[in-house]
Amino acid sequence: MTSRSAPESAAAPRPSGRRPLRRMTARGRDEAHRVASPLELLFDLCFVVAIAQAGAELVHAVAEGHAGEGILDYAMVFFAIWWAWMNFSWFASAYDNDDVLYRVVTLVQIAGVLVLAAGVSEAFESHDFLVVWLGYVIMRFAMIAQWLRVARSTEGTERTMALRYAGGVLLCQIAWLGLLFAPEEARPWVFLAAAVAELCVPLFAEKDFTTSWHPHHISERYGLFTIIVLGETIAAATVAVKSAVDEHDALSELLPIAAGGLLIVFSAWWIYFAVPIHGHLRSSGQAFLWGYGHYLIFASAAAIGAGLEVAVEQTVGTAHISQLSASAAVTLPTALYLLTVWALHSRHFKVGIAQQLVLPATALLVILCTFLGDQAVLAAGIVSALAVTAGVVMSTGEHWAHDS
């Protein structure tokens, strides 16, 4: 069955003036000057608090030699953070009416992520997911309330879509109870099953009716969150370097890590924003894949910061892991970030084999940098920067050829 979407001209821009309650009807996909709202920016900043907590616990786990266990816990906690953020972002792009009730329910979601952040340490250290689950449930029940408002304000297939969302999200919360009651060795499988169920809810809900999300607004929301996560990476690495310098007087040993980390973050920003993506979202039916794929982009970007902290701790002798493991903590998430950005963004805009292969080849070289000892992070940063340079040169040459 062919799904239909809300007519692009059916919804007018958000009305001016403040009323406590408005009908929650779809906003227009062709709405001009659609940008992130101040409430959405506050929402993002509070979610990054939880990401910072997850990153800090990942650093501790890897530095203590429990990388496998730490990565699994990180993946589980990060999914809860990312999925709640993503669901809100797409919902708000289609139905943000900015009335008082919408703002209050959004603030409840913010409170939920702060509760989740408070439980991250227990989840990592004792595998007690009660507080994380409670924070997630708060966020998801707030989302259910928003969808029920949409159902009340609409009719036909759009109302059916909203009810499917509300019912699907509710059922998934029952599945997440398995994290609290299942044996510890079964929890990864419970997480996998519940996560797959969550991912299927939008696909099921929108099979007959597609929400009128705004392509430019969505691409901006994802871009802003990417910037905030990269900013958290820089902040975490800076604090780690400062602490190491203050306590161990190891500035000369840390300079290669600091320089390499900065090059990696700058390159990660440049590569992500090298091409405009909203046009592709408007014309492609793969918006779901693009949105889902950002789990890897956000998680790897945040993990780069954790890896830089691990590299600093290993350099000053406070981490109980080898140089190779510390280097891998930086190079592997960097390579994953590069490959995911290529798969979701860059490959749609590259012309010719050379341009297509730049980022995959860079990811491979970054992985090989793992074996360069105490210069691994610096080498990975230089390789990433060279990829940016190659992309700029190729793009410039292509423009010149086109103009001539």
Higher pLDDT, 237 or 110: 110
Q: How high is the pLDDT of residue 347?
A: 64
Q: In whole angstroms, give the CA distance from residue 100 to residue 21.
A: 6
pLDDT tens, 79-109?
999 999 999 999 999 999 989 999 999 999 9
Q: Which CATH architecture has domain 216-403?
A: Up-down Bundle (1.20)
Mean pLDDT of the chain: 87
Answer whether residue 12 shows pLDDT above 50. Answer: no
For every residue of 48-104, DSSP letters joined together read HHHHHHHHHHHHHHHHTT-HHHHHHHHHHHHHHHHHHHHHHHHHHHHH----HHHHH
Instruction: Give the burial string for 348-363 (b: 16+ CB within 10 Å, else e).
Output: eebeeeebeebbbebb
Q: How high is the pLDDT of residue 351?
A: 58
396: confidence class by pLDDT, cuts 50, 70, 90: low
Answer whether residue 178 shows pLDDT above 70. Answer: yes
- Three-state SS string over 162-179 comes to HHHHHHHHHHHHHHCCHH
Q: In whole angstroms, give the CA distance from residue 52 to residue 50.
A: 5
Q: In whole angstroms, give the CA distance from residue 77 to residue 81.
A: 7
Residue range(s) in the chain whose domain bears CATH number 1.20.1410: 216-403
H runs (alpha helix) in 207-322: 215-248, 251-272, 278-283, 287-315
Of the candidates 36, 49, 37, 56, the residue with the CA atom closest to the CA atom of residue 81? 49
Q: How high is the pLDDT of residue 283?
A: 52
pTM of the shown model: 0.89
Residue linked to tokens 């958290």: 232
